[in-house]
Amino acid sequence: MPFHVPDKHYSLYSDVERRFRGMLQRGVITGTEESTLDRWLDNFQSEEELYFAARVLERLIFRSQGMIESSIDQMLHCVLPAYLRQRDLYPHPSIEAFLEALGESIPSYPLRFVGVDGNRAFDTGKSGVVIIRHYKRHAGINKAITCRPDSLSPPPEGVRCLVFVDDMLGTGKQFKDFVSDNKLAEIQGVHMVYCPLVAFEKGIEKLQIFPWLTVLPIEVLDKRHQFFSASAKSPKLWAVDEINTAADAKAFYNTLAADKGIPGSTRHGLDLVLGFEHSTPNNSLSLLWAESENWTPLFKR
């Protein structure tokens, strides 16, 4: 049977739409408006399309500014200090002393924070630049201990550790390009750690080709978070409802995307339904962020 609305789920759309609208009103979902939700829902017409839209909203993983700031706190209070201690790069008597040092203008400080993919002054919209701005505003990271990628050959004198910050590690392709563009493999005698807020499991595995790099994400997603993942109980069935097949759900999405003039998949696509307040990664389904004459996005890209 082609992709269809299971009999027991005919009320799902109205239930999910009401809950999602409530989350917008309470500020749980930020970065979009109810009017934008209305226009996005207008993209879907048939019962099957509306059911598909409900499943997307139901499965959405969204990280608001408050959640991003909480992840930054986790990185600076726990994850990064543990890494630095293990490598004898942590001379501070306490977390408070460490955070205080990060807020001071000390050009000789042996640590530098680097935004991934923002290697030019005009790349102000790139995800790494946005995240490093979050580090500066929320955690008080001093500009003196941040560095642009194009200033790393060689790194500033006395620097012993480079901390690359980003919102999302997806397929790993983008970071591999970043390594090549900035000749990171040629840098000697400096520890390098990549700290995305969220990482996809296979992307972490891809970066194991760089033995000099340590990947320290705050949150890790795997195949279970992919929208078209198969059921663990019945491999042919779609894990989301265990009634439609995963293949039929994916085919339905591809047809919908083609009809609406948006890409069904991208070079970095992982079939995720992940969004941040500041942007939506292109690892997520394009129906969340793409735009065409026949399609209004829910979130900005």
Let me know if residue 242 belongs to a domain.
yes
Confidence of residue 31 (pLDDT cuts 50, 70, 90): confident
Let me know if residue 282 belongs to a domain.
yes
Let me know if residue 300 belongs to a domain.
no
Return mean pLDDT, the chain: 93
HEC states along 217-236?
Answer: CCEEECHHHCCCCECCCCCC
Q: Residue 126: its pLDDT value, please?
A: 66
Helices 47-59 & 12-25 angle (0-180, nearest 10): 40
Alpha-carbon gap, residue 126 to 171, rounded angstroms: 17
**Is 177 in the same domain as 190?**
yes
**Is 23 in the same domain as 82?**
no
The string of pLDDT tens digits covering residues 172-200 is 999 999 999 999 999 999 999 999 999 99
Arithmetic mean of pLDDT, 275-284 = 92
Q: For the chain, how many structural domains are there in total?
A: 2
The string of pLDDT tens digits covering residues 238-247 is 999 999 999 9
Let me know if residue 177 belongs to a domain.
yes
The string of pLDDT tens digits covering residues 199-236 is 999 999 999 999 999 999 999 999 999 999 999 999 99
172, 200, 221 - which closes a domain: 221
**Is 214 in the same domain as 78?**
yes
221, 254, 270 - which closes a domain: 221
Q: Give alpha helix (H) positions in 187-240.
A: 201-206
**Is 216 in the same domain as 232?**
no
Confidence of residue 39 (pLDDT cuts 50, 70, 90): very high
Alpha-carbon gap, residue 179 to 141, rounded angstroms: 24
Arithmetic mean of pLDDT, 1-10 = 91
Range of the domain at 137: 65-221
Q: Per-residue pLDDT for 294 more than 90?
A: yes
What is the pairing mode between strands 191-200 and 213-215? parallel
**Is 189 in the same domain as 137?**
yes
183, 203, 221 - which closes a domain: 221
The string of pLDDT tens digits covering residues 117-144 is 744 443 444 678 899 999 999 999 999 9
Domain with residue 126: its CATH number is 3.40.50
Using CA atoms in the order 192, 194, 195, 196, what is the torsion angle rounded to 10 degrees? 170
**Is 180 in the same domain as 206?**
yes
What is the pairing mode between strands 61-63 and 146-147? unpaired
% of the chain at pLDDT higher than 90: 85
**Is 250 in the same domain as 151?**
no
**Is 45 in the same domain as 184?**
no
Let me know if residue 154 belongs to a domain.
yes
Let me know if residue 299 belongs to a domain.
no
- Residue 176 · residue 213 · CB < 8 Å: no
**Is 164 in the same domain as 260?**
no
Higher-confidence residue: 110 or 300?
110
Window from 14-23, 27-36, 38-47 with minimum mean pLDDT: 27-36
**Is 28 in the same domain as 98?**
no
**Is 71 in the same domain as 215?**
yes
- In Å, how far are 50, 229, 256, 279 from 154, measured between CA atoms? 54, 44, 49, 32
- In Å, how far are 32, 127, 149, 175, 186 from 118, measured between CA atoms? 25, 8, 7, 12, 19
The string of pLDDT tens digits covering residues 42-91 is 999 999 999 999 999 999 999 999 999 999 999 999 999 999 999 999 98
Let me know if residue 298 belongs to a domain.
no
**Is 69 in the same domain as 217?**
yes
Let me know if residue 268 belongs to a domain.
yes
